[in-house]
Amino acid sequence: MLYMIYSTDVENSLQKRLAARPAHLARLNELDQQQRLFAAGPLPAIDSPDPGEAGFTGSLVIAEFDSLSQAEAWAAEDPYIAAGVYANSIVKPYKKVLP
């Protein structure tokens, strides 16, 4: 089943994000190689695909896991948590309807 992981950043997270980004992307690439990643990306702090110094307010990941508890465990191990980027994460089942 698909699960969405919606994470919100702490204030002024950009430098922490940049430092932890390689490890964060490595985990997402692993899901992608396993064909379990549906979508992933950051949430720009301003209305721009490249927010520059404004940074990001969080991230969204939609991926396949065997259970809610597995999705929660995966989210809890995100390098952005260890680096102090995320203030919190919400994990919920997701049902793709369209397109």
Q: Give the mean pLDDT of the chain.
A: 97
Q: Which tens digits make up the pLDDT trace of 18-38?
A: 999 999 999 999 999 999 999
Band (48; pLDDT cuts 50, 70, 90)? very high
CATH 3.30.70.1060 fits 2-47+54-93, yes or no: yes
**How many angstroms separate the CA atoms of 91 and 82, rounded?**
18
> Which residue is associated with the tokens 């396949």?
64
**Which residues, 6+ apart, have CB-to-CB distance to 6 below 8 Å?**
58, 59, 60, 89, 90, 91, 92
Q: Which tens digits make up the pLDDT trace of 6-15?
A: 999 999 999 9
β-sheet with 2-9: strand ranges across: 37-44, 56-64, 2-9, 86-94
Q: Which tens digits make up the pLDDT trace of 79-99?
A: 999 999 999 999 999 999 999
Paired tokens of 69: 């508890």
